[in-house]
Structure 1
Amino acid sequence: MRKTDLLDEIRAEIGVVSDQLDGSVEELYRFVVKILFDQIPAYRYVGVYVTSEYQFKESCSAGVCALMQVVPFGESLLSLAAARGGVVREQTGDHVEVYVPYYQGHHLIGELVVMASPACHIDEEDITLFCEITSLFESKVEECNS
């Protein structure tokens, strides 16, 4: 299956699950993490970190990464992405990490984190999907809080 077709299939499945949510954005987080990790073998880690007090807390994840489950603000690329207000893509050797923040208004809610190896397996198509997913997270957070 072509990558474009696979990503479109993932989009469709996420959309269906999102439409069936019953007031819990955490269910959507878990589904997104699972489908991305299960469907794309190059993704070695997929996680959602949410903000709490002055730190990021891992809400759900699949795979293994070097990030702690609780990361204080100001540490790691999580904070860099939040400060920039956009995608941070960091490549080290044949490993790539992508951090995509999402907001409610100007308030940071959390970040989608994806790590892959080899690095060439995350391209602009993947980044576009991650941004669409975080946009969906923003909508669902708004919907669940209203």
Structure 2
Amino acid sequence: MRKADLLDELRAEIGVVSDRLNGSVSVKGLYRFVAKILYEKVSAYRYAGVYLTSGYQFREYCGAGFCSLMPVVPFGEGLLSMAAARGGVVREQTGNRVEIFVPFYRGHHLIGQLVVVGEPVHSVDEEDIALFCEIASLFETKVEECNP
């Protein structure tokens, strides 16, 4: 299957689940579904997860695969904080591994970040990052709809 087709299939499956958010499936259920499907469907994604803000730290809410990040990361430390400070995507390459951090917000309030770790590094490109940004935007929309 071509990569573009696979990413379109992921968009469709995630869209179907997000459309069912009417109280029976929570936004947090959407987070879990996204992490699971990204990890299961794309072999280059060694980890997919969502870190949510809690107090003055990021906490791993859900994840699939292996990630070297700690489950709790204090604000001001690491790439999660860098992405939050920049207000946009951070892509960090270490050897043959790439880590992508995509923050999502409710208004100006940081809710959390989608984190994806890919390997080999060349397997995660701008198409993937565009998908991750779309997913973060979907999270923002659903948080707003479910918490008016």
Q: Name the count of aligned residue pairs.
A: 146
Q: 2:47 aligns with which of 45, 48, 55?
A: 45
Please give the alpha-carbon distance, in whole angstroms, between the structure 1 residues aligned to 2:129 and 2:118: 12
Q: 1:34 aligns with which of 19, 33, 36?
A: 36
Question: Which portions of structure 1, spanning 4 or more consecutive aligned residues, are displaced by more than 4 angstroms?
Answer: none
Listed one character per residue, the Cα deviations across residues 9-62 of structure 1 (whole Å, up to 9, x for unaligned) are 000000000001233101100110011000001111111000011000111000
- The residue aligned with 1:14 is 14
Unaligned runs of 5+ in 1: none
Shift of 1:144: 1.1
Please give the alpha-carbon distance, in whole angstroms, between the structure 1 residues aligned to 2:13 and 2:127: 17
Report the more deviating stretch, 64-73 or 129-138: 64-73
**Normalised by the size of structure 2, how large is the TM-score?**
0.97
List aligned pairs for 1:104-119, cutoff 5 A.
Answer: 104-119=106-121
Coordinate RMSD, CA, aligned:
0.6
- Structure 2 residue matching 1:68: 3-state secondary structure: coil
Please say if residues 58 and 69 of structure 1, whose CA atoms lie closer than 8 Å, have aligned partners that are also in contact.
yes
- The residue aligned with 2:133 is 131
Percent of aligned pairs with the same amino acid: 72
Please give the alpha-carbon distance, in whole angstroms, between the structure 2 residues aligned to 1:52 and 1:145: 17
- The residue aligned with 1:75 is 77
Unaligned runs of 5+ in 2: none
